[in-house]
Structure 1
Amino acid sequence: MTFFLYVPMTVFTNPDDFSKREFWISFFGQVMNLGRYVMGWVVIYYLYHIMKQNQHVKEQKLILENAAKSAELELLKNQLNPHFLFNSLNSIKALVLIDQEKARDGIIKLSELLRFSLNYERVTLIAIQDEMNEVQKYLELEKIRFGDRLELEIQLEEDTMELKIPPAMVLTLAENAIKHGISQVPDGGKVRVVCQKRKGNLRIMVTNPGSLDGKQTLGIGLKNVTKRLQALYGNEASFELVRNAKKEIEARILIPNI
């Protein structure tokens, strides 16, 4: 462009300048000056397209990650159903020929729990109050089987009732407390479920008597609890199974900023 603007003007005005050194120095100076602006716009143009391409790649990566997490959550939920059904059926099978009234009550509770298990697969989160209603049914169902060997205590703070958690997560911990706690202790004991909110963090604790062994810590139910928390909250949420100061086994879930 500089050539077509600058040279023709010189040809008509001062044709003798072509032979002067100063003319060519000025000419190349104009070329360099114009080239600086052109290169600037070229760099901006390519940077814009590179950024746009990177943004597209990031968006596609997030879409794939979300799809993978959704698929993993569905798989984990589906893995819970056989475990849940097996434990619930064991709670009433011995009552059918012994006490028909208790067996009937157990079947009603089981049908309600199964209805819950079918519905919770359709949602990612449910209110704690709804979850606790099912936990109560499950523990009452187990009390039919264990009788006086099982004591129940549920402490649900009012400001936690409407908070959302993954469905059947506390129910899984309650099942674990029965399977590895109450059923293994001859004299039974108490299963206590506590939900509280402290400094914006949700704390859920399920305690039971018993001992902490490898089978309990490596069970599929507890592994699923950890994986579901990680899939939904990343490393911000935590789950641990410990022996507390009262020598009880305590399952602890912490969900921050809820």
Structure 2
Amino acid sequence: MTQTLSKISNEITTVRKDLDSLSVTTNGLKDEMSVLRLDQTKLETHVSRIESTISQDINDIKQSIEFSSQQQTSFDKRLSDLESNSKSYKLIEEKANSLELKMNNLDQQSRHCNIEITNVPDKRGENLTLLIDKIGLAINFPIPQKEIIAIHRVPHMQSDNKTPKNIIVKFASHTLRNNILSAYRLAKGLNTDQLGISGASHRIYMNEHLIMNKKLLFRECRSFAKEHQFQACLGQKRNNTYARVRHIADLQNPI
């Protein structure tokens, strides 16, 4: 009996030891679970922060894309407006150029009976009508005074210009003007001594009375003809096949 009780007591002691050992193990597991829970909490907090940061970054990217889209839309609109304005400006420029061309043509048309005489010395109290009479005799083409509508000298554009002022003569008809110029060219030149003008003899020139831009064009044509060794620089003439030069750009392809 005593042995049995002793054996039971030993078994109970062993069980208690096992329980104590299990309790220690359980406590260790509890501690580890607590650590795991703490780590999980920390991980969840970290993940939450990352998600929040990513979400904010995504929102920032969306806002940036929306802003860029708005900027692009604004840019496209401005570009469209500029293109529209450019077309309007081009139309206005074309109309202005057309009006300028018409005005120049009208201005030139108003001079179609005029001759411009250059390099005739100025003289106080001069009689320009008598001068035209002498020119007519010198070129073998008498010019009746009744065919002279107006005659005068024109001032220089630059006040420091010391050359003689040009003389403008308006005749009664375009045909008469052309005949006088033809006679001048047939005469092969005109000098001051032929007109009884004192001083050293020098050349006098007679040409159509051109507006300023046509004068500049004519000078460019003469310079171009000289540079390319053309025999003559001629204007466009009806029923002839001369190269038509209406603008300096036409000189790039004169043939």
Greater Rg by CA: 2
TM > 0.5: no
* TM-score scaled by length of structure 1: 0.37
Higher relative contact order (CA 8 A, sep 6+): 2
